[in-house]
Amino acid sequence: KISQIIDKMLVSLDFESEKNTLVKELPLGWKQKLAFSVSIIHRPEIVFLDEPTGGVDPVSRRQFGELIYKAASDSITVFVTTHYMDEAEYCNRVSIMVDGRIDALDTPANLKRQFEAVSMDEVFTKLARGAKRGDN
């Protein structure tokens, strides 16, 4: 049964040709997608991802986002920390921290409306302008 699950996962990732490749030999984006897929193979209720697309190429970033959408549609809650505000646009809820505290928490649409912004990057920029930027 586990081999069937693994084969299904490899097909969904389009990794069939890499079945016998060592993970250390894969590109970073592939490693990240594989790591995420392995982390949800047992269908947890929740998974935490810390900067999963940092240093990953744009195509892999988009594919990673699709994996997160799929997991969410399978009732897995996915918490993601990211500095990429374009990724935040696709989240159900966004929390933005400034100076170690949560300054904003809502849907991307509501945050953009609240801050009269056209993008989450603009929301972040407006919030970051109020940062103390230094040791207190």
For residue 3, give the H/E element and its range: helix 2-13
Is residue 93 within 8 A of residue 100, CB to CB? The reply is no
- Same structural domain, 44 and 14: yes
Strand partners, 77: 46
Question: What's residue 122's pLDDT?
Answer: 96
- Residue 1: pLDDT band with limits 50, 70, 90: confident
Instruction: Check whether residue 45 and residue 98 sit in a common domain.
Output: no
Domain termination residue (choose one: 42, 57, 82):
82
- Length of the chain, in residues: 136
* Whether residue 9 is found in the same domain as residue 75: yes
Among residues 82, 98, 122, which one ends one of the domains?
82
**Span 110-118, average pLDDT:** 97
Beta strands in the chain (DSSP E): 46-50, 77-81, 94-98, 101-106
Q: Token digits for 18?
A: 């890499």
Same domain, yes or no: 76 and 91? no
| Residue burial 100-109, b: 16+ Cβ < 10 Å; e: rest | eeebbeeebe
**How far from 119 is each of 13, 84, 87, 111, CA to CA, in Å?**
30, 12, 11, 9
- Domain housing 13: 1-82
Taking the CA atoms of the chain, what radius of gyration do you get in angstroms? 18
pLDDT of residue 114: 97
Q: Tokens 């969904």 map to which residue?
A: 12
For residue 14, what pLDDT band results from cuts at 50, 70 and 90?
A: confident
pLDDT at 4: 87
Mean pLDDT of the chain: 89
Q: Are 70 and 135 in a shared domain?
A: no
pLDDT at 132: 79
Query: What is the reported pTM?
Result: 0.76
- What span, in angstroms and rounded, lies between the C-alpha atoms of 15 and 127? 41
Domain co-membership, 9 together with 62: yes
Q: Residue 9: how many CA atoms within 13 Å on its side-chain side?
A: 20
Residue 134 confidence (pLDDT): 59
Q: How far apart are CA 71 and CA 33, in angstroms?
A: 12
The token duo for 101 is 């505290």
Q: 133 with 104, same domain?
A: yes
Is pLDDT above 60 for 70?
A: yes
* Residue 92 and residue 59 share a domain: no
- pLDDT given for residue 83 in this prediction: 87
- 135 pLDDT band, cuts 50/70/90, is low
Residues 91 and 78 in one domain: no
Look at the chain and report how many structural domains it folds into.
2
CATH number, position 43: 3.40.50.300
92 and 132 assigned to the same domain = yes
Predicted pLDDT at 89: 86
Most confident of 52-61, 65-74, 76-85, 110-119: 110-119
